[in-house]
């Protein structure tokens, strides 16, 4: 079974030192970086970073510049495809850091545009990472020449809803998206709609549990699993008044549309809206949420290794990681970050991510060219149906 289907409440207790030793055994500890200041470097200069539009707190970037003299230029994107397109077009020249999602590892391994991280120079930051997430990085982002990605933030794709319409006692479920009374009131992402349908069909035992994990490198396996999903989705197409394509800004706008009752969104959108309007809520469905991790990686042709190392150390400190949560509303992979995120965040986190829900997360499989092409084809078939 896919390694991400671990029990989070257990694996978060793994010993960090043992994981560092494991990294050394795997050959992912590179040479020592030059001696640098508190976060790695006291310098002037600029770092060019490509990352999701809501993932990097501008106030944090400003503090980093004040403390190090290094200015971070954040090129904002709304999909992993944009990162790939930019790096492909520029051949990696002109950018230092990127922030891809966890299941893009095979894409970047094939592209060969990443530089292994100098783990000894960020050892303290690695010790801050909850072992569950670091273990995933070791397994999936070591391409034979060292670890090329570290986890940064994690979140879920689940049910955003209008509490005013559904009531205070509403229990989220994908099944509600398909009820006749909510026809024309539902949203989902172009990319995650079929996955949400698949999880629902697995829950009601039409499809085998975790069957989607076996559809990444075999055409027959893909079609046998996803064809029933597509047929079901097409039969429910009238439920949806819009399929979103991009990031949080579009999702927030759709949730505030008078038509909206519920739908599949990233957690950042409803939690951001909830800060100003309590009617916008977010919850993990009984069938299980979709989950993701966004990380940080060094572009192969960057000539600012020390500056990038300084930024990674700054980014992964508990205080900086925690205060940034107030901006992006995702969860940090850093142990202790929650202590700096405020009581409101802790209350929301403890309510949404209870032990039962953490055991029921559905992580996207590692993407392959075959899966990408066929999945995109099925999305097109749904849209054209």
Domain that holds residue 31: 3-154+292-342
Tokens of 213: 């994990």
CB 80 within 8 A of CB 297: no
| Residue 125's CATH number | 3.40.190.10
Count of domains forming the chain = 2
**Angle, CA 328 vertex, CA 326 and CA 333 arms, to 5°:** 90
CB 230 within 8 A of CB 381: yes
Count the residues in the chain: 385
- Examine the domain organization and report whether 206 and 328 are in the same domain: no
Rounded distance between C-alpha atoms, residue 376 and residue 363, angstroms:
18
- Examine the domain organization and report whether 171 and 124 are in the same domain: no
Pick from 297, 291, 324, 311: nearest CA to 99: 297
Which residues, in sequence order, are bridge partners of residue 147? 142
pLDDT tens profile 217-231: 999 999 999 999 999
Report if residue 274 sits inside a domain: yes
pLDDT, average across residues 339-351: 88
pTM recorded for the entire structure: 0.75
pLDDT at residue 358 tops 80: no
- Examine the domain organization and report whether 266 and 119 are in the same domain: no
Q: What integer pLDDT is reported at residue 44 of this predicted model? A: 56
- Examine the domain organization and report whether 188 and 83 are in the same domain: no
Tokens of 328: 């992006």
Q: What integer pLDDT is reported at residue 246 of this predicted model? A: 77
pLDDT tens profile 133-159: 999 999 999 999 999 999 999 989 999
pLDDT, average across residues 101-106: 94
By mean pLDDT, which of 38-42, 172-176, 178-182, 335-339 is the weakest?
A: 38-42
- Examine the domain organization and report whether 118 and 267 are in the same domain: no
- For the chain, what percentages of helix, strand and coil (3-state, to nearest 5) are there? 50, 20, 35
Q: How far is CA 219 from the centre of its chain?
A: 26
- Examine the domain organization and report whether 369 and 323 are in the same domain: no
Q: What integer pLDDT is reported at residue 369 of this predicted model? A: 86
- Examine the domain organization and report whether 24 and 39 are in the same domain: yes
Rounded distance between C-alpha atoms, residue 352 and residue 294, angstroms:
20
- Examine the domain organization and report whether 176 and 223 are in the same domain: yes
- Per-residue pLDDT band for 131 (boundaries 50, 70, 90) equals confident
Averaged pLDDT score across all residues of the chain: 88
The number of CA neighbours under 13 Å toward the Cβ of 38 is 8
Choice between 29 and 226, residue whose per-residue pLDDT is larger = 226
- Examine the domain organization and report whether 282 and 300 are in the same domain: no
CB 290 within 8 A of CB 82: no
Percent of the chain past pLDDT 90, that is, above it, reads 74
Q: What integer pLDDT is reported at residue 247 of this predicted model? A: 79
Rounded distance between C-alpha atoms, residue 161 and residue 150, angstroms:
32
- Per-residue pLDDT band for 268 (boundaries 50, 70, 90) equals confident
- Examine the domain organization and report whether 83 and 173 are in the same domain: no
Report if residue 348 sits inside a domain: no
CB 42 within 8 A of CB 53: no
By mean pLDDT, which of 28-37, 153-162, 177-186 is the weakest?
A: 28-37
Neighbours of 284 (CB within 10 A): 23
- Examine the domain organization and report whether 88 and 138 are in the same domain: yes
pLDDT at residue 76 tops 80: yes
Report if residue 55 sits inside a domain: yes
Report if residue 37 sits inside a domain: yes
- Examine the domain organization and report whether 229 and 269 are in the same domain: yes
pLDDT at residue 32 tops 90: no
Report if residue 84 sits inside a domain: yes
pLDDT, average across residues 360-380: 91
The terminus-to-terminus CA distance of the chain in angstroms comes to: 33
Report if residue 350 sits inside a domain: no
Q: For residue 255, what is the DSSP state? A: H
Query: Which residues have CB under 8 Å from 160's CB, separation 6+?
Result: 251, 255, 262, 263, 264, 265, 269, 270, 280, 281, 282
Report if residue 353 sits inside a domain: no
């Amino acid at each position: 079974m896919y390694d991400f289907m671990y029990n989070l409440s257990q694996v978060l207790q793994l010993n960090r030192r043992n994981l560092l030793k494991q990294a050394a055994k795997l050959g992912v500890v590179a040479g020592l970086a030059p001696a640098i200041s508190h976060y790695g470097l006291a310098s002037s200069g600029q770092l060019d970073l490509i990352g999701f539009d809501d993932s990097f707190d501008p106030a944090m970037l400003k503090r980093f510049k004040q403390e190090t003299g290094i200015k971070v230029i954040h090129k904002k994107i709304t999909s992993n495809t944009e990162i790939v397109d930019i790096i492909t077009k520029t051949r990696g020249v002109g950018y230092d850091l990127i922030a891809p999602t966890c299941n893009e590892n095979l894409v970047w391994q094939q592209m060969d545009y990443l530089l292994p991280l100098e783990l000894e120079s960020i050892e303290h930051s690695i010790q801050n990472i909850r072992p569950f997430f670091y273990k995933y990085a070791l397994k999936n982002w070591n391409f034979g020449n060292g670890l090329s990605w570290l986890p940064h933030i994690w979140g879920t794709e689940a049910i955003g809803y209008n509490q005013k319409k559904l009531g205070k006692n509403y229990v989220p479920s994908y099944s509600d998206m398909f009820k006749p009374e909510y026809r024309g009131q539902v949203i989902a992402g172009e990319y995650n709609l079929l996955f949400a349908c698949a999880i629902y069909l697995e829950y009601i035992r039409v499809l085998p549990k975790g069957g989607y994990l076996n559809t990444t490198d075999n055409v027959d396996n893909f079609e046998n699993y996803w064809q029933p999903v597509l047929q079901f989705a097409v039969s429910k197409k009238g439920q949806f008044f819009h399929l979103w394509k991009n990031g949080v800004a579009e999702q927030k706008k759709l949730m505030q549309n008078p038509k909206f009752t519920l739908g599949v969104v990233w957690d950042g959108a409803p939690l951001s809206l909830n800060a100003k309007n309590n009617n916008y809520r977010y919850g993990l469905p009984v069938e299980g949420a979709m989950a993701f991790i966004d990380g940080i990686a060094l572009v192969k042709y960057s000539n600012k290794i020390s500056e990038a190392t300084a930024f990674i150390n700054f980014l992964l400190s508990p205080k900086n990681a925690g205060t940034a949560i107030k901006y992006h509303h995702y969860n940090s992979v850093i142990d202790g970050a929650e202590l700096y995120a405020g009581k409101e965040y802790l209350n929301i986190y403890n309510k949404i991510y209870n032990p039962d829900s953490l055991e029921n997360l559905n992580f996207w499989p590692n993407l392959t060219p075959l899966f990408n092409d066929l999945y995109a084809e099925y999305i097109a078939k749904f849209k054209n149906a």
